[in-house]
Chains A and B, each alone.
Chain A
Amino acid sequence: MERTAVLGRLSWRFATVLEVTAETDQTHSIVLDAPDWPGHLAGQHVDVRLTADDGYQAQRSYSIASAPSDEQLVLTVERLDDGEVSPYLVDELRAGDRIELRGPVGGYFVWRPTDAVPALLVAGGSGIVPFRAMLREHGAAMSAAPIRLLYSARTFDQVIYREELLRLAARDGIDVSITLTRAQPAGWHGYTGRVDTALLRQVSWPPEEHPAVYVCGPTGFVEATANALVGLGHDPGRIRTERFGGTS
């Protein structure tokens, strides 16, 4: 009997890996051919499921790195050394492999080109991934809404999408600020040190402008950043967060 799709039901589908590219030592982008992909919004994610030979399954959620207008679906995954799924995705996956995924999921941590208010995006480490989708979408849709990105990475080598962010920053309406917390290359003109109240005050829109605020990164980073933003007077109801776990 032919199966009938139930409206709104999520189903697992196989996607074929077209290419895996290194973004940094710890982070790879996986370009996927996902037949019948229904499309997504910038900021949504997918659930990825791996099945071992003995039937054991492990499942994790990953932000989508590609914009809705991009031709292919891209996930960017950071290797967690004690992780169960990410070391396989980063180290073992090759072109031609197939992975199981379902999605897109989530509607809370998304940015739409129709959003007219200024947006502040604050990323820690691989928290940049959903923001890359948002910034690409901003450009593709020629949105007039101003966007500011504040991105915290440990070192210059750990800045994901470095070249692309610099290109995006050259566009009207997009400001990109990077702060390096551990070490800076010679001649570094960006910010240094962790994201704190002083840096957020300098980079963010004033609370009176009622910006939409998105914060994504490790749990400790997100909590400290969200607390600092509330301390600066931002409405907690306008701060959307996405925590990865981990406390660094």
Chain B
Amino acid sequence: MTDRLDGNAIAGALQEVFGREMTTATGVCGHCGDSNRLGALAVYLAGPGTVARCPGCDAVLLVLAEVRGVTCVDALGFADLQPAG
């Protein structure tokens, strides 16, 4: 499955990791500087992990991987990440 989905598709995984609703959080792309709600990211579920990319420049912002039932997140691409108030 290589289809592009939205950040909605990883709402549950994000909430599990961050302990709060994150699709309304705002992330700033470290590559192009675009600011987006996480619900608007381009999400790809294919492969061993889940990848979320910037909808503007396609840079990888976030990688989710599940290892033995534990969800790990690498928010490597964000210059800033602010949960909704």
**A-side interface residues toward B, CB under 8 Å?**
6-10, 45-47, 61, 102-103, 105-109, 219, 223, 240-247
> What's the Cα separation between A95 and B12 when bound, in Å?
26
Contact with A108, one of B1, B15, B16, B24 (Cβ below 8 angstroms): B24
Q: For window 15-38 of chain B, which residues contact chain A by CB distance below 8 Å?
A: 15-16, 19-21, 23-24, 37-38
Residues in chain B near residue A9, CB distance under 8 A: 16, 19
- Determine how close the nearest CB of chain B comes to the CB of A127; give it in whole angstroms: 12
9 contacts between A and B (CB under 8 A): A8-B20, A10-B15, A10-B16, A106-B11, A109-B6, A109-B39, A241-B6, A242-B8, A245-B1
CB–CB B19/A61 < 8 A? no
A245 touches B40 (CB 8 A): no
Which residues of B pack against A, CB within 8 Å?
A: 1, 3-9, 11-12, 15-16, 19-21, 23-24, 37-40, 45, 84
Max chain B Cβ within 10 angstroms of own Cβ: one of A8, A106, A243, A245: A106
10 A-B pairs with the lowest CB-CB distances in the bound complex, closest first: A108-B39, A108-B23, A106-B11, A105-B11, A245-B3, A47-B12, A8-B19, A105-B12, A107-B24, A107-B21
CB distance A219 to B7 under 8 Å? no
Q: Is the CB of B23 within 8 A of A106?
A: yes
The answer to whether A106 touches B8, judged by C-beta atoms less than 8 angstroms apart, is: yes
Select which of A6, A102, A242 is within 8 A of B6 by beta carbon.
A242
Contact A10 B39 (CB under 8 A): no
Query: Which residue of chain B has the shortest Cβ distance to A220 in the bound complex?
Result: B3
B contact residues around A47 at 8 Å (CB): 12
> With A and B bound together, what is the CA distance between A67 and B21 in angstroms?
20
Residues of B with C-beta under 8 A to A108: 6-8, 11, 23-24, 37-40
For B8, B9, B24, the residue with the greatest tally of chain A CB atoms inside 10 Å of its CB is B8
Smallest Cβ-Cβ distance to A223: which chain B residue: B4
Task: Please tell me which one of the listed residues B3, B21, B24, B38 contacts residue A219 in the complex, with CB atoms under 8 A apart.
Answer: B3
Residues of B within 8 A of A240 (CB): 39-40
Q: Which partner residue on chain A sits nearest B13 by CB separation?
A: A47
User: How distant is B32 from chain A, measured CB to nearest CB, in Å?
Assistant: 15
Q: List, in ascending order, chain A residues with CB within 8 A of B23's CB.
A: 105-109
**How far, in Å, is B46 (CB) from chain A's closest CB?**
10
A residues less than 8 Å from B45 (CB atoms): 245
